[in-house]
Amino acid sequence: MPASYPISVKTYTTKNTGETIQAIFLTEMELEITAIESGLLTGTAPLNSSNSTMVNLSVTGGATFAAFTLGASTVASLVVSSNMTVTGASTFTGRIVASSGLTVTGASTFGTVQAGASTVGTLQAGASTHTSLSVSGGSTFGTVQAGASTAASLVISGGSTFGTVQAGASTAASLVVTGGSTFGTVQAGASTMSALSIGGGSTFAGRLNLNGALQLLSTSITLSSGNTNDLAIGTATTIVRLTGSSAGSTLTGFSRGQAADELLIVFNVGNDAIRFAHNTGSSAANRFALTISTGINLVSGGGAIVVYDSVIWRVGFLN
């Protein structure tokens, strides 16, 4: 007769004191013991449990768990269909694929990560692919390929490709951004970006190549007659289009909380000349340095390059 294990639990008849021990009694036990030993040694014995806790588990083949809680364990291939909680320090030498969501609350190191929607406190990874990655802490990646990603602090040491990135302070050795992206601060070497918006101060250590057109932010302002002092032009503006009054307009200074080496390109788009004058009507830091003390006219259709040298605006006319 075959053993019940591993198909079912063996059922034995009740034994009473004084009964004669039959050979079949021992044969049944021997069959079950042999089946269990053979299954454990040859790898055919299944471990079926809805909730199992192992202090030290070594799995050399493929394994599937509904819920898995473990201490120090070695697993060759693990599939978790529900939730897996790892409370101690764990090492995964192979690839980790998260089809649902991966949450890492401590400091973790991955060789390769492929994840869907994932939240990571601190992550150190080599070549990684992410559909949607949220990094709340400081993280270091060798190479990252990602769709829409949000990173509080992201350091990328290798070549990386993002669809869209929203980041705080970020450092990228080589970064390729194919979609629209917003950065607080970016420090980058050789980088290629399709649509990049930088909200804070940024440093590019290497050469910045623009494969497309350079589009600068502009503003259009109509001046009143007489003197216009400390004209506010906005902190993000590079191109200023001015229209003067037919009664005569005089401009004595630009105000934007400027820093050294800021550049403005100014055009007169109106029909009347606009006079640039060094005049005490504007604050000292906002005034123009001119080659003619009485002022210079910016004619209709003319332009000027204006650069702030940390003390005063210096004007080069292109009339």
Are 222 and 243 spatial neighbours (Cβ–Cβ below 8 Å)?
A: yes
**Do 184 and 166 form a contact (C-beta atoms < 8 A)?**
no
How many whole angstroms separate alpha carbon 291 and alpha carbon 252?
A: 14
pLDDT of residue 303: 97
Let me know: does 276 contact 302? Beta carbons within 8 Å.
no
Strands 249-251 and 303-308: unpaired
Q: Is the peptide bond before 2 cis (omega within 30 degrees of 0)?
A: no
Tokens of 203: 């440093």
Which tokens belong to 14? 């009740």
CA gap 113, 123 in Å, rounded: 10
pTM here? Answer: 0.53
Alpha carbon dihedral 161, 166, 171, 177, in 10-degree steps, equals 30
Tokens of 255: 């105000």
Question: Would strands 274-276 and 218-222 be described as parallel, antiparallel, or unpaired?
Answer: unpaired
Tens digit of each residue's pLDDT, the chain (319 residues): 788 888 888 888 888 888 888 888 888 889 989 988 888 888 777 766 556 677 777 777 777 777 767 677 777 777 777 777 776 667 766 666 666 667 777 777 777 777 677 777 777 777 777 777 777 777 777 777 777 777 777 777 777 777 777 777 777 777 777 777 777 777 777 777 777 777 777 777 777 777 778 888 999 999 999 999 999 999 889 999 999 999 999 999 999 988 888 999 999 999 999 999 998 899 999 999 998 888 999 999 999 999 999 999 999 998 7
Give one DSSP letter per residue of the chain, joined into a string: ----TTTS--------TTPPPPHHHHHHHHHHHHHHHHHHHHT------SSEEESS-EEEEEEEEEEEEESS-EEEEEEEEEEEEE-S-----S-EEEEEEEEEEEEEEEEEEEEEEEEEEEEEEEEEEEEEEEEEEEEEEEEEEEEEEEEEEEEEEEEEEEEEEEEEEEEEEEEEEEEEEEEEEEEEEEEEEEEEEE-S--EESS----SS-----EEEEEPPSEEE-SEE--TT--EEEEE--TT-EEE-BEES---TT-EEEEEE-SSS-EEE---TTS-GGGBEE-SSTT-EEE-TT-EEEEEE-SSSEEEEE--
Q: Are 65 and 79 in contact (CB under 8 A)?
A: yes
- Residue 173 Ramachandran class (φ > 0 left, ψ -120 to 50 alpha, else beta): alpha
